[in-house]
Each structure stands twice: as structure tokens, then as C-alpha cells.
Amino acid sequence: MDSLDKVYNALDLEQKQLVMDFTKSHPSSVVSAFEIYNNFSYNPRLGQLDSLFQQLDTSVRVTYFGRQLHDLIDKTKLTAIGNPAPDFASNDENGKSVSLASLKGKYVLVDFWASWCGPCRLENPNVVKAFHKYHDKGFDILGVSLDDTKADWLQAIKKDGLNWTQVSDLKGWQAEAVSLYGVKGIPMNYLLDKNGIIVAKGLRGEELDSKLSELLH
């Protein structure tokens, strides 16, 4: 898996560079906007995304994918590191409404996932490990599922041992929190400090443990 990750990351960087080169030489092509959106929308870097958008001609910015990019940039600004995490509320497994704000006072990982998402299920053991290691030190998790079938959602929670607060609108990609945070791919997460400020996002594998160790030593 480690060796495959290295190959994937190298190919991903190469593909992104091709998109940047294409955008620079074809600023008036809607294909540039399409490729930027397809390749830079997962856990986007604001400066990079905004720079690419600014290279597009005005005629391209008003196309469908141009508008999608503009909306993504706005939401990326909203969830930038150092900003307060946007509050939302959704129902837990028992139908009780839970708000993100209710978890203030702890370090909280807002974890977007779904039972049908293979990479999410592969990542869950790392999240479980971090939860058990740091929960007693003031760390908690709010799982936000993109499931649309309750039975599948609950079965995955039980099978993967996700013993923390879980919420879902059961509306898949149309969930309120998904739209609010501009989530374009899962797994995706946001780590908040005790005051609800975003201190990190998109933590995978050992990155989560490393960041929590730094914050909760």
C-alpha cells in the first residue's frame, strides 16, 4: 500500500502540473475550468485554486464549471485553517439532533465518510486508533455520514467500531454539512481546537496521530 501510495501521489502531481500548464496556455477554454475542478477540488489549497481561477478568461469564469470553481473557492475560504468551523446540526442514530457547537471545549475531528466509500473504510482503523489513544486527553469525533440508507450506515458503524457521535441527514451528497463545507471527496476531515477553530484538515494515516500528539502532548 505504501509503495502504491507513492506511485499514486507522483502521478497525481504530474496530472496536476499538466492541468496547470494547459490552463496557462488555454485560458479561454472551458476545458481548463473543467480540469481544474476535477483535479483540484478535493481538499483544495486556496492560494493554488484561486491563482488558477484568476488565469481563466472572464468568458470561462461564467460557465457552469467556472461558477462551480467560484463557489468552491468561497467555501474553501470559509473552512480555511484559522477560521471558526461553520456550525451545523444533524440527527444521530436515534434521530436526536446534534450540533457541532455542542462539542466545543474539546479537540474535535469532523469526519466525513460513508459506508459505501472504500477509502473511508480503509482509513477508519486509523481514526479508531486515534480516538482510543487521545479521547481521555480531550479529543472527540463527530462522524458525518454521506449514506442514504440507514441500515447500511448503522452496520458500518458497528463493524468498524466507530464508537463516537455519528450523524447523517441520509441524503448522500445533498447533506447540509457536505454543501456547507464544500466537500467534494471522502474521506475528508477537519480538526478543530477547543474553541471550534480549524487547525488542520485532510489528515490521513499517521498524519492524524502526529497532529494530535503535537496538540495534546
At 102-115, the pLDDT tens digits run 999 999 999 999 99
User: Region 191-208: what's the mean pLDDT?
Assistant: 95
Could you tell me if 26 and 47 lie in one domain? Answer: yes
Cell of residue 90, nine digits:
444533524
**What range does the domain containing 43 cover?**
2-78
- What local confidence, expressed as pLDDT, does residue 169 receive? 96
User: Last residue of some domain: 28, 59, 78?
Assistant: 78
Report yes or no on 51 lying in a domain.
Answer: yes
Could you tell me if 74 and 100 lie in one domain? Answer: no
- Whether the predicted pLDDT of 96 surpasses 80: yes
User: How far, in Å, CA of 202 to CA of 191, rounded?
Assistant: 9
**pLDDT interval class at 40 (50, 70, 90):** very high
- What local confidence, expressed as pLDDT, does residue 8 receive? 83
Could you tell me if 71 and 94 lie in one domain? Answer: no
Using DSSP, how many helices (H) and how many strands (E) does the chain show? Answer: 9, 7
Could you tell me if 107 and 58 lie in one domain? Answer: no
**How many other CB atoms are there within 10 angstroms of residue 153's CB atom?**
22
User: How far, in Å, CA of 149 to CA of 99, rounded?
Assistant: 21
User: Last residue of some domain: 50, 78, 106?
Assistant: 78
Domains held by the chain: number: 2
Could you tell me if 139 and 70 lie in one domain? Answer: no
User: Last residue of some domain: 14, 47, 78?
Assistant: 78
- Whether the predicted pLDDT of 93 surpasses 90: yes
CATH number at residue 122: 3.40.30.10
User: Region 92-111: what's the mean pLDDT?
Assistant: 97
- Whether the predicted pLDDT of 78 surpasses 80: yes
Report yes or no on 84 lying in a domain.
Answer: no
- Whether the predicted pLDDT of 2 surpasses 80: no
Q: Are 197 and 174 in contact (CB under 8 A)?
A: no
Q: Are 176 and 100 in contact (CB under 8 A)?
A: no
Q: What is the pTM of this model?
A: 0.87
Report yes or no on 83 lying in a domain.
Answer: no
- What local confidence, expressed as pLDDT, does residue 203 receive? 95
Could you tell me if 70 and 99 lie in one domain? Answer: no
